Structure 1
Amino acid sequence: MRVVQITDAHLYADIEARSRAGIPWRQFQQVLNAVVAEKPDIVLFTGDISQDESAASYALAMQALEQLPCPWYWLPGNHDQPEFMAAERPMVEQVDLDSWRILLLNTQVEGKPHGELGSERLAKLAEQLENDDRPTLIAMHHPPVDVGAVWMDAIGLQDRDAFWQLLSKHPHVKIILFGHAHQAYAEHHILGTGRGIGEATIDVYGCPAMADQFLPGAEQFAIDEASRPGYRVIDLAYSDVQGSEWQSWIERID
């Protein structure tokens, strides 16, 4: 099962509008063309579809995404207007993949750049995890870990401690995908105290943006002009002998 993550397109209603380092609509189309060549089974769009938050920007995205040869799903980022998204395509909270399951979390805090799940969303997540112990991939917009850029880490998931405490009770969560950071990232996150051998880990992955890339390790906001838009590929597998297995890597457009 091949899952492709795309994120942070930051589209405008005007297809010729420029961002800091390119034209988002053109970059969006280039990334989608590359994604089609990967022959994905599912595409996940982890937020910040729009930059100008216009209804027209979501209509543009919808028009292009409908050309994908597979099911696709999106969730809101801090720049998004969920009502405009839902008007184009309903958002879902769960995708069944036979032996695997995907949960899509909304971490948006209206009008704020940081993210938060809050008590109601955390309770809903706990219920979802308690009711199904299949290997699980969680997709979200805001990073639940520090990515190493001071300014970005300040606007990540604010209630991450509660999030990780919840996941420590559910080792069947295997993978977390996030956007927002506009850069590639990978971490084996240890659950629990970190003192024991054989403790559960979760692979946490960030993804290049479809639009501008952010400079890794920066103390203040900075564009990475040497990097390129891209996407993440995740190949999922499961067998009765080996259990859940996966591979993941980053691809970038020329």
Structure 2
Amino acid sequence: MQITDLHISTHPTANDNPASTPSCQYGFESVVKQALNQRSDCDLILVTGDLVNKVEPAIYDYIYQVLNATGIPFACIAGNHDVTDEVGEELPFDQRYLVAQPADSRLLSRQVINTAYWQLLLINSAIPGEIAGEISSDDIDWLCEQLTHCHKPTLLALHHHVIPMQSDWIDRHIVKNTDTFWQRMANFEHLRVIINGHTHQEQIQHHNGVTVYTTPSTCYQYKPFEESFTYDDNARPGYRWLQLANNGQVASWVERLDT
């Protein structure tokens, strides 16, 4: 299961009133509960960035506590909000300023998860103090090394999108060096799947033989194909299932919260 863009800004205490639970916290807990009630055979939970809306260790403690309680292995990578605080959230977007923050030590980068038939690679595309992402030249070299030495079908997980979403404002915050990334990945036919967050919407695209999935947020959603920043008030929080078959094929679909 992939969940992404939790954007949690507070951590609960024993005295909190459940009726006043912030929407992002409610979305996260409700998504995890609904998904795991649907399927008891989940092998792994991948959390693809923007776990928090402001960088505080106590918020990560809460998120990891919820994930640990599932009893299912999980892996979390950084998004831009995990290494950058936005100051002035009450202001229009272009009037806010960004403050670089160190990433929580529990967030993974250059992580390999091997199964009998698949290789999963996790990298960090977040740049401290920025919204857009980048896959560093060292990370691209690392990916090439992993793909050269292991020929299993491969899934790559990162936060930022690597194919334009046809939405001008969000595409200003894409991975900056997508051309270089795709040129280097073209040598590896066994790179089958890329999953990302960041876009707060569902899309499936295909590029150079790779299927690229973007996934809704567990909190608020962005309206697709808009030139300027627009929330999608009619779209509920969501999550993505991925079935990685023994023959290298993939089935994937998005579910939304029932209520």
Give the TM-score, by structure 2 length.
Answer: 0.85
Q: Is the 8 A contact 2:77 2:107 kept in 1?
A: no
- Structure-2 residue corresponding to 1:24: 24
Q: Is the 8 A contact 1:5 1:231 kept in 2?
A: yes
| Structure 2, unpaired ranges of 5+ | 17-21, 84-100
Q: 1:248 is paired with a residue of what secondary structure?
A: strand
| Structure 1, unpaired ranges of 5+ | 17-21, 192-200
The aligned length equals 231
- 1:161-186 deviation line (CA, Å, top 9, x unaligned): 11111111000000000000000010
* 2:108 paired with 1:110: no
- 1:203-236 deviation line (CA, Å, top 9, x unaligned): 1000000110011111111110000001000111
- 1:109-166 deviation line (CA, Å, top 9, x unaligned): 1110000012111111111111111100000100000112110011011111111111
Q: Distance in 2 between matches of 1:69 and 1:92?
A: 24
1:217 aligned to which of 225, 235, 242: 225
Q: Is the 8 A contact 1:108 1:114 kept in 2?
A: yes
Q: Is the 8 A contact 1:55 1:84 kept in 2?
A: no
- Structure-2 residue corresponding to 1:232: 240
1:56 aligned to which of 50, 58, 76: 58
How far the C-alpha of 1:84 sits from its partner, in A, is 5.4
Q: 1:233 is paired with a residue of what secondary structure?
A: strand
Q: Is the 8 A contact 1:36 1:69 kept in 2?
A: no
- Structure-2 residue corresponding to 1:5: 2
- 1:51-83 deviation line (CA, Å, top 9, x unaligned): 011111111101111112311001000000485
Q: Distance in 1 between matches of 2:6 and 2:257?
A: 14
Q: Distance in 1 between matches of 2:26 and 2:151?
A: 41
* 2:162 paired with 1:144: yes
- Identity among equivalent positions (%) equals 32
Q: 2:9 is paired with a residue of what secondary structure?
A: coil
Q: Is the 8 A contact 1:211 1:229 kept in 2?
A: yes
Q: 2:82 is paired with a residue of what secondary structure?
A: coil
2:30 maps to amino acid:
Q
Q: Is the 8 A contact 2:77 2:108 kept in 1?
A: no
Runs of 4 or more, structure 1, over 6 Å off, are none
Give the TM-score, by structure 1 length.
Answer: 0.87
1:253 aligned to which of 242, 250, 257: 257
- Structure-1 residue corresponding to 2:36: 36
